Every structure is written in C-alpha cells, then in structure tokens.
Structure 1
C-alpha cells in the first residue's frame, strides 16, 4: 500500500512479538521514538533485543522497557545516565554488546545497504577485536558470556577488524516530517541514528511530528526514502524532555 499511515502507535506495534530485535533511533533523549516505545510497553512484548546508541534513561525512552525487565539483550555504544541499566548489567540480568559508536552506525548502515560485513581500524589492538569483553555477568560476578575474537586483516600495512552488519526484525524511528508514502525528514541533531536504524529494519515504523501529503516534500530534502519505511504514525507536537538541564 502506498498510503502507509496507521491510526495509532498501538496499531503500528501490535505485531512486534516476544523475542523480536529492534533498531531504535535516537541519541540520549534526542530524536527517540517515544510514542512508539510507550505503545510497545503497553502492548507487552518481552525478551527483546534492542540496537540503539544507548538504552534510554531511567523513566524515559527504552528505559521504561528496561525497568520492566522486557529487554534481554542490547547492542549499544553508550550506557551512561541509566542506573537501572548498570544494575541489570552488573547483576547478570542483561546482556550488553558494547560497540564503538562509529562502528555501530556503520553496522546499521551496512545492514540497510545489504553489505554483510566490513573492515574498520576501530578497535584493533583492544578487546573489541581480541575478544573477552563481558557481554553478560554471572550472579557471582564472573563473566558468563564474553565477546568472541574477530578476524583481523592487514590492508596496505594497516590492520583492520571485521565487523558484521546489523539487520533487525523491526526499526522504530522518529522524524520531524513524513508523507503518506513514508518519505522522512529529520530535524537537526534529532537525525542522529534514525536514518541508519530506518534502513536496517525489516519492518520500519516511523512516528512523525508533521504529516504531509505526497509531493509536498522536496525530494532533495528527504533523508530516508519511503522504500525503507513500512508504517507511519502521526504523533503531532509531543513532549521532549531534556536529559540533562544546564544553566549558566
């Protein structure tokens, strides 16, 4: 169907089942698909694997799913600002694959582009390449699951580590504008990981602040073409909490 708009966020996430993998856009609380996450929380899916820059914060974003024990595993590059995340990880309740931030973005981008793997210098000479990073702790504090070693090859005299692309069952993203065909425009820093996540999902669901008719978006301004997007939900002007308020 060319008209991909659904009536509600609840309808859009209704078929996300237990054990599903999710690529989730956002950076901190900037550009996160909060309405879709809230609808998924109400829907009840559990045992989820998330791929996101971070796992929300306490009480916001993916943090609400995490607090309810609904995330089994996460691939992230930053885990600060979330005490419950730290508690679950160190307590052996959550499996965490820490990935360098640029590598995470490229793994998602490669997945969306149909590239199975790529070589990068990031992580060479560290446990990222050599293996042994704790993915899951045991209740006694030992390492229950550790990262495996990765292939390292030399090109033109420099070493590179092989990283595998990421493709997920679903992707949840937030856009400033979108049309009924699923073409998306992100605004300023809220663009962050959203384009990469949108491309990496087998089924991509976008919440948009401003819904416009086909033809109203300048094709040159579209960040994610509609071919990557399967469902669109109009959320309007939503609350955008500030992660860390600072003043002069």
Structure 2
C-alpha cells in the first residue's frame, strides 16, 4: 500500500515515447512542474497531452513543448503560449480544442468507466459540425480538420434541445500536483489546483502525484480527501525548493491614492 517513490525522476522513468498524458493544472495553479521537468530530462517524445492549457512560454508544459516533445494537444485554452501558436500554425503540432466543461467531463468519464455522454455545449457549432483545424500544413492551409460528431435531439425538463455526443478520455499516464498526500495515495488539492488535477488523476491508467507535503495514512480526514488513493499509483514528496516554485501568471498593480 505504500506508493511513495523517492524522486520525481524515478516516478517518470518508465514513461515511454508516444505516451498519452493527462496533466493537471489550471493556468499556472497546480501544475506538476517537477514531474514535467523530470520527464523532459528523461527524454520521452511524441507525447499526446490532455490538459486545460499547455502552460506558458518557458514554464509548465511549455517546457516540453519548446523542446519538441509534444506531438498532439487536447485542451480548452491555448492563449498564453506564443511557441504553442507557432508550432500549431506551422504544422508541427496537432491540436484538438474542446470546451472547458466538456474536457473536464471527458476526463471524469474516462476515470469512472463511462464511454461517452451527451452535452448541449457546442451543439450547432464547429464543435459538433466539424471543420475546426486539427493540423495545418507548412504553407498555412488546413491539412486535417475535425470530423462531425453524432448529435441527437433530446427532451429535458419539457424542452427539446440538440445534444452532441462526446467520448471519454483515458490516457496512459496522469500527472498531478497536490498540496498534501498520504502514503496510500489519498490526495488533497489547494483551491484552484482542484479544478483539473482530480480529473487528470482519474483519467490516467497510471497516475503519478507530486505533493508538497507527505503524511501518514489516517492523517487526512475522509472529508479532506479530494482524490482517493485508488486512482493514484505513485506519490513523491517534493523538496522545499521544488514546492516553492510557484510563479504568478499575471501580475497587475493599481495606483494608490496619496494620503493628504
């Protein structure tokens, strides 16, 4: 039952080239940066990444992206990464854009064994009708477009609406960052880090967690556990230096009124 691993390098050592990864994080909050950097050093390439976003230039998944290790991304938001845009528009990267709530539910469905579900989100748009660019050619033309998805008119609460069928996401590995974890793999996440980390952890066939603090089984109360250990296969405690690497995505200031 003790799922602890001594270092992040050992935790990701067996992730092979061509693997699919569900990676936690919401913006720069809750990103498993130490596992990402260990994977960068390990050398795996041709990775398919499922995450809310692909980091920023020079941090998070942006580090793997800049090194040319990622071949495909399924995400809901990609607006903070210039290198991402360059690779996508030059035909170096396949991208599948998915509405944020739909992405969250696709990950959750994969974790609980639901193969597909209907949602109203995206019905009647390019999400359901197809035509979104998946891959560009080097000359800027669209080489691969998204295919139309199955739709169905259903009655809910006395109103008929069109719904689109979305498939679950199941990946080879899940990489997550938690505030606290115990040796059995039970995890507690901090604030916005809870948005996608539990879902990424559920979707991975092998889930690896980096934690700021490692505690003994029983120290986390049942109501404090956001992801049960049944979903977690390996857990590694970060060093103080690793745990403190928490950049701020955007820093804004406001002028202060001078006292009279």
TM-score w.r.t. length of structure 1: 0.99
Structure-to-structure mapping, 1:69-148, within 5 angstroms? 69-148=68-147
Aligned to 2:195: 192
**Structure 1 CA distance for aligned equivalents of residues 26 and 58 of structure 2:** 15
Return the alpha-carbon distance in structure 2 between the equivalents of residues 196 and 230 of structure 1: 15
- SS across alignment from 1:65: helix
CA deviation map 1:166-216 (0-9, x unaligned): 000000000000000000000111111000000000000000001000111
* Aligned residue number for residue 56 of structure 1: 55
Q: Secondary structure at the match of 1:199?
A: helix
2:250 aligns to what?
244
Q: CA deviation at 1:55?
A: 0.4
After superposition, what is the alpha-carbon deviation per residue over 1:79-134, rounded to whole angstroms, capped at 9, x for unaligned?
A: 01100000000001000000000000000000001000000000011010000100
Structure showing greater radius of gyration is 2
Q: CA deviation at 1:236?
A: 4.1
Moved over 4 A (4+): none
Q: Give 1:173's match in structure 2, choosing from 155, 176, 190.
A: 176
Match of 1:206 in 2: 209
| TM-score under structure 2 length normalisation | 0.94
Cα-Cα RMSD: 0.6
Q: Distance in 2 between matches of 1:220 and 1:98?
A: 34
Q: Tell me, yes or no, if the aligned pair for 1:208 and 1:236 is still in contact at 8 Å.
A: no
Equivalenced residue count is: 247
Give the unaligned 5+ runs of structure 2: 255-260
Within 2, Cα distance between the matches of 1:178 and 1:168?
Answer: 22
SS in 2 for 1:122: coil
* Contact 1:210 1:236 survives alignment (8 Å): no
